[in-house]
Amino acid sequence: MKNYDCIVIGGGHAGVEACVASARMGCKTLLVTMFFDTVGAMSCNPAIGGVGKGQLVKEVDALGGVMGLAADFAGIQFRQLNSSKGPAVRSSRCQADRKLYKEYIQRTIRAQENLDVLEGHATEFLVKAGRIYGIKVNDDTEIHAKSVTVTAGTFLDGRMHRGKEITPGGRIGEPNSVKLADSFRALGFEVLHFKTGTPPRLDGRTIDYSHMVIQHSDEQIVPFSFRTASIHKDKPQVPCYITHTNEQTHEIIQANMHLSPMYSGQIQATGVRYCPSIEDKLKKFSDKKSHHVFLEPEGLDTDLIYPNGVSTGLPAEVQEEFIHTIQGLENVKIVQYGYSIEHGVIPPTELKPNLETKKVVGLFLAGQINGTTGYEEAAVQGMIAGINAGLHAKEQEPFILGRDEAYVGVLIDDLVTKGTEEPYRMFTSRVEYRLLVREDNADYRLSKYGYKFGILPEAYFRKVEVKYEKINQEVERLRQTKMYPKGEFDGALEKFGSAGLRQPASLSDVLKRPEMNYEKLMKCCGSAVDMSNEIVEQIEYEIKYEGFIIRQKKEIEKFRHIENIKIPAELNYDEVASLSHEIKQKLKQFKPMTLGQANRISGVTPAAISILMIYLKKLSNQRKNKI
């Protein structure tokens, strides 16, 4: 028997961030994984980031996590998505070399102080009086700890489907975790099932790229990690290619739809709406004659290609038939066939906002077990769970981020207050304060917490402070500096196609003009730009979007008062007069910790929130009078 502060079960993206976070906080941590060789593996597509997901990676990085650094090390194509739109919706994405990514993660785990690794199966939770005190592993050995974080990915009750063929497991060639699912049930947790899937893998040497659209890396590469100074220009960058399915492809799939596990009734689990299988696409978008297929390279020293867009659970022979109808893939060799996978999910409404379960003190959950999909959603949950597991071990207050502070604040709040009936994927549209919580300012928003908890080095945090001091000073200078009509400044403005001044104006007012940017403004003033592009972009954003930013800050202040009103855990909702039976049942089920959380529970009306607010104020006054 051994004793730890924190145990983390599972070595995927969530598990990696969780164990590194708690170890860096000074907690003696154990990572339990079936095989160390698979730690940090990219089970599905060889890419990090994407719309709404790039922001999550930046937040992991700002807190001191690993994913952004690993992506920069292993990236073989970098792109800024929505680059023509405003900074609020821009997202980073990169293709990654699977082998290099995994190597970076494993090297980080090996080198991390306070972190041990055990190859084995976690089979049972050790719980006494509603508190977890450890786990049993496959040989019935007990390992004790103050907290346990489960990041089981697709392995909890995992089953893989290809046609009628069903294989127990969490990934090709790897077993599932049935006993752990049984241990959850024994503790009174409901284990639901969600479905995801993966496409076949192709031999790139047998693909004809000549008629496909080529997609190159951006010329100016923006790193994922704030700690990466730059991506070297001599670093190999490889293209992706775009092809399409066609009517012949669709005819073959439609004719064999009865063999798809999702439509034969073999899988009852809910699939991913925003990353559907090719069978789902044909069912839900039957009017479309073709669908995009993105051919993504899996690495620099492999010929494997990942055909993003044709995830499937159809039998191997049907995959052979329909893949060969796609332009450029007529003679392709399939190296590994695609498959669907269903896996266990604990309803996320069972969680507190710090990702600790309501039923068992000290038990934390992160990643796909909470009903999410995607590497990035898993990693950021792992980060928050790891921090909170460490804080729990130290008997310190939990760490909870608000919706106005981070994308992960929105993600977790959505899960714990609303639950999810399908695999949850992050989008920019889910974030109501996205003007304030952007990719480019994640370091400003979150590095103070990473430093406070001991995850982020002090030297880096001081750099962040200096950076934002420069930004704030320059924004203030532009607001305070006045320019006057009929001078040299007017003539310079006209050279850049901007009208001269009619009345005195601050430099910040001039910068707000659509045709102006910071570089042009400095030339008009006869000054050189001596700041990085990263700093200049934030200065421009703060000034050009000033009105919108002020409006969003006012909205946040308007709702902040109810966010901070705590609801006692022992509150008896039956005693709250005027609440409907239905609303009482919802509040009992979700057990919100604040009035703000209660406000976001589906079906809880504004009138009910007012009633609760009055009742809580009355309770507070009664307690004060007793004192």
Who wins on pLDDT, 312 or 560? Answer: 312
pTM of the model: 0.92
Residues 153 and 215 in one domain: no
pLDDT at position 56 is: 98
State the pLDDT confidence band at 1, using cuts at 50, 70 and 90. low
Residues 118 and 167 in one domain: yes
pLDDT at position 559 is: 81
Residues 24 and 73 in one domain: yes
CATH number, domain of 503, equals: 1.10.10.1800
Residues 444 and 359 in one domain: yes
Answer yes or no: is 558 within a domain: no
Residues 537 and 572 in one domain: no
Last residue of a domain, one of 309, 338, 367: 338
What 3-state DSSP class applies to 380?
A: helix
Residue 505: which domain range?
471-552
- CA dist 407 and 398 (Å) reads 18
Answer yes or no: is 461 within a domain: no
**pLDDT tens readout for residues 453-465:** 999 999 999 999 9
Answer yes or no: is 463 within a domain: no
Residue range 320-331: mean pLDDT, rounded: 98
pLDDT at position 426 is: 93
Contacts of 263 (CB under 8 A, 6+ apart): 257, 279, 283
The pLDDT of residue 622 is above 80: no
CATH number, domain of 211, equals: 2.40.30.260
State the pLDDT confidence band at 3, using cuts at 50, 70 and 90. very high
Residues 530 and 613 in one domain: no
Task: Report the range out of 268-282, 291-305, 475-489, 549-563 with the highest average pLDDT.
Answer: 291-305
Residues 242 and 366 in one domain: no
Residues 189 and 40 in one domain: yes
Tokens coding 246: 């066609």
Answer yes or no: is 192 within a domain: yes
The distance of Cα 102 from the centroid of its chain, to the nearest Å, equals 19
**pLDDT tens readout for residues 487-504:** 889 999 999 999 999 999
Who wins on pLDDT, 83 or 479? Answer: 479
The number of distinct structural domains making up the chain is 4
Write out 90-132 in H/E/C secondary structure: CEEEEEECHHHHHHHHHHHHHHCCCEEEEECCEEEEEEECCEE
Nearest of 29, 25, 13, 140 to residue 455 by alpha carbon: 25
The pLDDT of residue 298 is above 90: yes
Answer yes or no: is 477 within a domain: yes
Q: Which amino acid is at 122?
A: A
Last residue of a domain, one of 338, 359, 386: 338
